[in-house]
Structure 1
Amino acid sequence: MAGEKSSRARVTEENKFIFSTADTCDFFQVSRETLSNWEKKGAPKAGRGKWNIKTLMEWKFDGRHTDSPGVRKLKAEAALKEIKKEQEAIRLAVQEGKFISVEQVTRELTRKLANLKKSMLAMGHLVASNLASLDMEAAEIAKAEVDKRVKEALTEMAEGRLYRGRTKKKEK
């Protein structure tokens, strides 16, 4: 008995949104011709002369089936408004000082890269001084190798290339 009630409730629930063509036209305030055109464009239909209002509304407002000039114009206008809104937000952010000038960025980046270069060039000396107490010859070899790699990296960065850290096998 309980199974019958739930299946009846399900059928009633599914039929709750089924309207006749006339009622569907009244609901959407469109003519039968418009409803017929929607059907040709892929509008879901429950059967002959029957329309599921719920699925028809989902179809109508999903925006994928309409490509009329009016709809395209509305979409273009909406997109233009969004772009103008974004431009206005940027303009206000500039006025509020939330952005910094290219010159400021260039100055700060130049300063930081110069500091990086100085630190990298000092690496060979630091390695050598730490190894000197163990083996002076190894310290000199390590210093030369580190200096060579650092200079290669800095040169390639300055030329806009990506440093790949060549191994001795590749250098031959």
Structure 2
Amino acid sequence: MSEKVKAKMIDGALCIATSELCEVFSVHRNTIAQWERSGMPKKARGWYSLKDTIKWVTENRGVKKNPDDEEGMTLSQQKLKYEAQLKEQQAEAATLKNAIAKGEYIKREDVVSELQRFFISLRRSMGGFSRKIAMEISPYLEPEQVRLIEQNIADTTNAALLQLSVRGVYDAKKD
């Protein structure tokens, strides 16, 4: 019975057979085929340069010290990282879509429209506020004082509404 050749020299490089490569890395033949499709160099059908193969496996399949550093990651680790990030983003999008379907979110246009109607109503109500106060105090004061109070209330109300519309906050002036 003849024993199969497990190593030979090809183009000046020490090459080993697929079966020996499987033993060296403790992997299955299918893994070697997958590595080959991923770019692992080979010298001939079923023969791999030991030096080149060890270098390729170390660079492309080895575990680096800092997996968060993209430069220190293998291509497969980078792919895995970005696939995980994609899955996270897809999960967030699905969660948002479900929340929208449940009615937990309101369309921006609906909110803007409703707020515009509210603030128009508020402005009209506040605009008539100074006139109403003036009518209430007119029997007790001189007409000139009533007009001055009405104007001060109207100016303060308009200033407050303007500040709310521009900055969203009202800062009362201290006299």
- TM norm structure 2: 0.46
Max radius of gyration: which structure?
Answer: 2
| Larger relative contact order (CA 8 Å, sep ≥ 6) | 1
